[in-house]
Chains A and B, each alone.
Chain A
Amino acid sequence: MRPHEKTGTVSRRGFVKRSLVAGSALAMPWLIPSRALGRDGAVAPSERITLGAIGIGPRGNAVLHGMLAEPDVQFVAICDVRVDRRESVKAMADRHYGNTDCAMYRDLRELLARPDIDAVLIATGDRWHALGSVLAAKAGKDVYSEKPCALTIGQCQALADCMRLHGRVFQAGTQRRSVPNFQAAIQLAHSGKLGKLHTLHASSYRPSVTHDWLPAEPEPPQDVVDWDLWLGPAPWRPYNSAYVSGGWRGHFDFDSGARLLDWGAHTVDLCQWANQADDTLPVDYEASKDGITAHYANGVDLIIDFLDEPFGNRAPQYGTSRGTCPVRFEGDEGWVETGDSGEIAVHPESLRSELVGFRPMAGTDSTTHSRNFLDCIKSATQPAANADVMRRSHIACYVAALAWELGRKLTIDPVSESFVNDEEANNLRFRAMREPWRL
């Protein structure tokens, strides 16, 4: 209790670590000083963040739309290896601004060389996230990167270290940290009203991975689909059109973590937050046919539940009405469960009165998370899903995936982020990047 707090007041600071309050949905968006607002509410150029985007497919479009709606964003450049995507994003941007100013690039190095660009949104396929973010940071840009932010444990480490070294703002696309119902569930977990936490549940798909190559097809012209640039740091394989339209998912070289991170990057991250464990991760991991159980040093269990119908009937592990990406936090006096529908379930029901009132928002909605990113560019505050938070929750997911892939119990030292007595697991933390790329 701070000296200035009245007795009995629930401290907003008491429920999230100081560095994460910026993500609270109850906090107003960063107030743009009235002097910066023009006559019709437009923001003065000096207060605007000039934005570029790299790799904009369906998810990228959704996030970009949210950013374009912010009055202090000026979106000026799209980079994509697919000509149809860069043209459609340019058309969308030009319509929005009523001009033809949006620039198109095939090669992200050209976009990043522009001194006027302050920040980039990276929504490429997973294999490009870490390298794109690092190149952007070295070019002096702040980064919002879709998750998973890296393909391996080693890449997570290098990415977080790079952001620290270059002093850049980094926001991982784990937007549920900025979505009200998830925040309310976290607040309940932190309040002590659930008693001592003992088990945290993170939903995910059943893991799977393939090492197969799709049949080789003739490569399209470079200015239609640049296959070499699409691959980027991933090792070579022959072109197949399916890869570039989302068919890269599940392939080991492009989508690490046995598909666990598609939801796990969100759900495990929320469990880390619930356990106030953003500066550490579970130490032991063991896979079974139903899920992966991990143990924190503080005694709490993290269970990744494999859902047979992640988009359908999620029972019995979770309530189906609560939507996708459900999580449940269990303590010895009660539990709370929530998901993308915005609905929250509590037990006992009396806990409902403890829930902070909030405005429902879809779990996939990135607008408050983007706003948090933009605010942090202008201030010296830490984004809700900053690089250090991302590092630990992503590594936890990758360790879980390795426990499943290798079929044995794994123990990791959370400080050195290395496995105990397992050379093979340690080797699997890293992959070489295809030349000329490096982190």
Chain B
Amino acid sequence: MACRQRVTAVSVAAVSLLSCVALHAQDATSPQAAGRPAETQGLIAVLQSDATTFDKSQACQRLAAIGAPEAVPALAALLPDEQLSAYARSALEAIGGSSAADALLEAVGRLDGELRIGAINSIGVLRESRAVGTLRGLVHGPDADAACAALAALGRIATPDATEALLWALVEGPTERRPAAADACLTCADRHLSQGRPGDAVRVYYRVRHADVPQHLRLAAACRTMVARQSAGVPMLVEHLRSGDRVAATMILRAVREMPGHEVTRALVDELAKADPWLEVMLIHALAERDDEQAWAAIRPMAASDVLEVRLAALKALGPVDVTTLKFIPLFDGKTFDGWEGDTANSFRIEDGAIVGGNLRAPVPRNEFLCTVRPYANFILRAECKVISANGGIQFRSQRVPNSAEVSGYQADMDSGGTYWGCLYDESRRGMLVQFDATEVQRIVKRDDWNAYEIRCEGQRIRLLVNGVQTVDYTETDAGIPLSGVIGLQVHAGGPSETWYRNITIAELP
């Protein structure tokens, strides 16, 4: 049996008093062991002697563990002691009952400053209803700290007269004490609720919602009201969602977690139809958590929303990607370089609805890249590519190299020789990452003709598909490699050559 040995440095005077104190753990079968009365007397004797502060602190802590009512007078005597008051109060709080409460109440009358606040706090812990009169006096009194402590205690006591005292302070008391009153009201109302009095709870929350206190307290009260009323709280949910106030909407959606039930899901689904994109995103997450078919039915069509953030939120909620449901957006409009930057004067042109890199008349002096203006992280990218006497590639999760025409990052490789299609290359960085079998490539790829490339980036996982055949399934394990960056179209240095890119579309993923 593992025992904790309490090591105490005791004064000589206390040794004889402690000699009969059982400091070892009691037998498991009788927590109120036969030795308890003797131990308690020994501890009381320490408190009433001239033992050191340390000895008395340890005696108080032992009394807090065993909770002996006979010790109340000895503990009460320590309440005016700045060093020992908290130790004594731990024991009084553990003992509880009317004798402990009386001792604390008496101390409230006698003490001032922080010592008095300590006694008030302990009365709150005990929820002593007989203290309400005294506490009300402090609430109306001149000492702000004592008033706030009394408000907190009244909040825990939560009897009808305690509640009334709180409401007075909230509505009519000094303004600077109203936040403390509001906080105590939240505690009080919560107690009403847990004791089966939702009507009383809502009444208190109502007053907080309309009190002259900071918004976070009023919002908290609104959220609690909604939760207390459950399905009857739906109008409040709707009101906050429609308010246009993001803070209010966020808080109410956190609280809605405590409201299971189809009527509430229905209300969220209805609001989804009316919501601005920022709220659509939050509603999608809230509905996903509810995990019922009504919620999923509302989320599914959001994966095809025109708004990127909404699509991503829906995809994230729905889980594994069903590619057929994804909305693909053109990256290239077929006519202009909108959304792209690079050497559009010389190296790249637009012809027949395709971006063409290079030319067939003169050698290409160096690698050139036409890149998207913005970065992309997780996505499925599709493009059709045709390579003539060349090597080309589609860069992704890439970065332009400063002071150079180079780009660094992943590349879906391609070449007119039909060797490098479907390979994953790491341009200006680690070189070839995954080489796909060259004979297989010949079988899949149509040389000097259009081929379909698909690049899938999902977190650390990268997959490449050529003409529908998966050629690479790679997981990045190097923590230094960025998982987002621009997309780029390469024309490779070398003899006269052209690489054609068209029908470039992307579906972003969460």
**Which residues on A are within 8 Å of B, measured CB to CB?**
2-6, 9-13, 18-19, 25-28, 31, 33-34, 115, 138-140, 161, 164-167, 169, 209-213, 235-237, 252, 258, 287-289, 357-361, 378-382, 404-409, 421-425, 427-428, 430-438
Contact between chains at B374 and A424 (CB < 8 Å): no
**A165, B320: Cα distance in complex, Å:** 35
Instruction: Kindly provide the distance from the CB of B62 to the nearest chain A CB, expressed in whole angstroms.
Output: 10
Tell me if B286 counts as interface (CB < 8 A to partner A): yes
Write out the residue numbers on chain B whose beta carbons fall within 8 Å of the beta carbon of A409: 28
Instruction: Kindly provide the distance from the CB of A376 to the nearest chain B CB, expressed in whole angstroms.
Output: 9
Contact between chains at B125 and A432 (CB < 8 Å): yes
Write out the residue numbers on chain B whose beta carbons fall within 8 Å of the beta carbon of A26: 458-460
A-B contact pairs, 14 of them (CB 8 A): A2-B318, A4-B322, A28-B483, A138-B183, A167-B223, A169-B254, A212-B8, A236-B86, A379-B250, A380-B251, A407-B25, A421-B31, A436-B145, A437-B121
| Of the residues B7, B296, B460, contact of A212 by C-beta under 8 Å | B7
Tell me if B12 counts as interface (CB < 8 A to partner A): no
**A421, B28: Cα distance in complex, Å:** 10
Contact between chains at B90 and A13 (CB < 8 Å): no
| Of the residues B190, B322, B374, contact of A6 by C-beta under 8 Å | B322
On whether A436 and B460 interact (CB within 8 A), knowing A12-B320, A209-B4, A211-B58, the answer reads no
Interface of B is mostly: helix
Write out the residue numbers on chain B whose beta carbons fall within 8 Å of the beta carbon of A381: 285, 289
Contact between chains at B217 and A140 (CB < 8 Å): yes
Instruction: Kindly provide the distance from the CB of B196 to the nearest chain A CB, expressed in whole angstroms.
Output: 16
Contact between chains at B320 and A9 (CB < 8 Å): yes
Tell me if B74 counts as interface (CB < 8 A to partner A): no
On whether A12 and B28 interact (CB within 8 A), knowing A427-B66, A438-B121, the answer reads no
| Of the residues A237, A357, A407, contact of B2 by C-beta under 8 Å | A407
Write out the residue numbers on chain B whose beta carbons fall within 8 Å of the beta carbon of A437: 121
Write out the residue numbers on chain B whose beta carbons fall within 8 Å of the beta carbon of A19: 257, 289
Contact between chains at A433 and B8 (CB < 8 Å): no
Contact between chains at A432 and B122 (CB < 8 Å): yes
Nearest first, the 8 closest Cβ-Cβ pairs linking A and B are: A435-B118, A140-B216, A408-B28, A380-B253, A357-B475, A434-B86, A432-B90, A432-B89
Instruction: Kindly provide the distance from the CB of B18 to the nearest chain A CB, expressed in whole angstroms.
Output: 14
Tell me if B21 counts as interface (CB < 8 A to partner A): no
Within 8 A of A (CB), among B278-295: 278, 281-282, 285-286, 288-289, 291, 293
Count of residues in B whose CB is under 8 Å from the partner chain:
99
| Of the residues A12, A169, A424, A428, contact of B319 by C-beta under 8 Å | A12
Instruction: Kindly provide the distance from the CB of A380 to the nearest chain B CB, expressed in whole angstroms.
Output: 3
Write out the residue numbers on chain A whose beta carbons fall within 8 Å of the beta carbon of B398: none
Contact between chains at A34 and B374 (CB < 8 Å): yes
On whether A167 and B7 interact (CB within 8 A), knowing A27-B510, A381-B285, the answer reads no
Contact between chains at B460 and A438 (CB < 8 Å): no
Contact between chains at B289 and A18 (CB < 8 Å): yes
Contact between chains at B117 and A435 (CB < 8 Å): yes
Tell me if B187 counts as interface (CB < 8 A to partner A): yes
**A164, B190: Cα distance in complex, Å:** 10
Write out the residue numbers on chain A whose beta carbons fall within 8 Å of the beta carbon of B114: 435-436
Instruction: Kindly provide the distance from the CB of A84 to the nearest chain B CB, expressed in whole angstroms.
Output: 27
| Of the residues A167, A169, A358, A435, contact of B219 by C-beta under 8 Å | A167
| Of the residues A25, A167, A359, A433, contact of B254 by C-beta under 8 Å | A167
**A421, B29: Cα distance in complex, Å:** 9
Write out the residue numbers on chain A whose beta carbons fall within 8 Å of the beta carbon of B378: 28
Write out the residue numbers on chain A whose beta carbons fall within 8 Å of the beta carbon of B224: 165
**A380, B255: Cα distance in complex, Å:** 9
Tell me if B352 counts as interface (CB < 8 A to partner A): no
Contact between chains at B476 and A359 (CB < 8 Å): yes
On whether A31 and B3 interact (CB within 8 A), knowing A357-B461, A436-B118, the answer reads no
Tell me if B32 counts as interface (CB < 8 A to partner A): yes
On whether A31 and B31 interact (CB within 8 A), knowing A166-B186, A435-B117, A438-B121, the answer reads no
Contact between chains at A213 and B319 (CB < 8 Å): no
Write out the residue numbers on chain A whose beta carbons fall within 8 Å of the beta carbon of B4: 209, 258, 404-407
Q: Mark B120-154, 1 if CB is under 8 A from A, else 0.
A: 01101100000000000000000001000100100
Contact between chains at B32 and A423 (CB < 8 Å): yes
Interface centre among A11, A13, A430, A436 (most CB of B within 10 A): A436
Q: Mark B461-481, 1 if CB is under 8 A from A, else 0.
A: 100000000000001111100
Contact between chains at B319 and A289 (CB < 8 Å): no
Which chain A residue has the least Cβ–Cβ distance from B249? A380
Contact between chains at A406 and B58 (CB < 8 Å): no
Write out the residue numbers on chain A whose beta carbons fall within 8 Å of the beta carbon of B374: 34
Instruction: Kindly provide the distance from the CB of B409 to the nearest chain A CB, expressed in whole angstroms.
Output: 17
Can you add 14 more A-B contacts, CB < 8 Å, to A165-B190, A211-B6, A405-B25? A3-B293, A13-B319, A19-B289, A26-B460, A31-B510, A357-B461, A380-B256, A408-B27, A408-B28, A423-B67, A432-B87, A432-B118, A434-B86, A438-B152
Instruction: Kindly provide the distance from the CB of A276 to the nearest chain B CB, expressed in whole angstroms.
Output: 14
Contact between chains at B282 and A379 (CB < 8 Å): yes
On whether A4 and B57 interact (CB within 8 A), knowing A359-B460, A405-B4, the answer reads no
Contact between chains at A380 and B250 (CB < 8 Å): yes
Contact between chains at B320 and A424 (CB < 8 Å): no
Write out the residue numbers on chain A whose beta carbons fall within 8 Å of the beta carbon of B460: 26, 357-359
Contact between chains at B251 and A435 (CB < 8 Å): no
Contact between chains at A235 and B57 (CB < 8 Å): yes
Contact between chains at B377 and A28 (CB < 8 Å): yes
Tell me if B245 counts as interface (CB < 8 A to partner A): no
Contact between chains at B479 and A431 (CB < 8 Å): no
On whether A11 and B220 interact (CB within 8 A), knowing A34-B374, A167-B255, A436-B114, the answer reads no
Which chain B residue has the least Cβ–Cβ distance from A403? B2
Interface centre among B54, B224, B256, B319 (most CB of A within 10 A): B319
Instruction: Kindly provide the distance from the CB of B253 to the nearest chain A CB, expressed in whole angstroms.
Output: 3
Instruction: Kindly provide the distance from the CB of A399 to the nearest chain B CB, expressed in whole angstroms.
Output: 14
Contact between chains at B121 and A431 (CB < 8 Å): no
Contact between chains at B6 and A379 (CB < 8 Å): no
Instruction: Kindly provide the distance from the CB of A420 to the nearest chain B CB, expressed in whole angstroms.
Output: 11
Write out the residue numbers on chain A whose beta carbons fall within 8 Å of the beta carbon of B249: 380
Instruction: Kindly provide the distance from the CB of A431 to the nearest chain B CB, expressed in whole angstroms.
Output: 5
**A18, B479: Cα distance in complex, Å:** 27
Instruction: Kindly provide the distance from the CB of B297 to the nearest chain A CB, expressed in whole angstroms.
Output: 9
Instruction: Kindly provide the distance from the CB of A181 to the nearest chain B CB, expressed in whole angstroms.
Output: 12
Contact between chains at B187 and A165 (CB < 8 Å): yes
Instruction: Kindly provide the distance from the CB of B113 to the nearest chain A CB, expressed in whole angstroms.
Output: 9
Instruction: Kindly provide the distance from the CB of B372 to the nearest chain A CB, expressed in whole angstroms.
Output: 12
On whether A427 and B251 interact (CB within 8 A), knowing A211-B7, A422-B31, A435-B85, the answer reads no
Q: Mark B23-47, 1 if CB is under 8 A from A, else 0.
A: 0011110011000000000000000
Write out the residue numbers on chain B whose beta carbons fall within 8 Å of the beta carbon of A167: 219-220, 223, 251, 254-255
**A209, B3: Cα distance in complex, Å:** 11
**A27, B322: Cα distance in complex, Å:** 17
Write out the residue numbers on chain A whose beta carbons fall within 8 Å of the beta carbon of B510: 27-28, 31
Contact between chains at A407 and B117 (CB < 8 Å): no
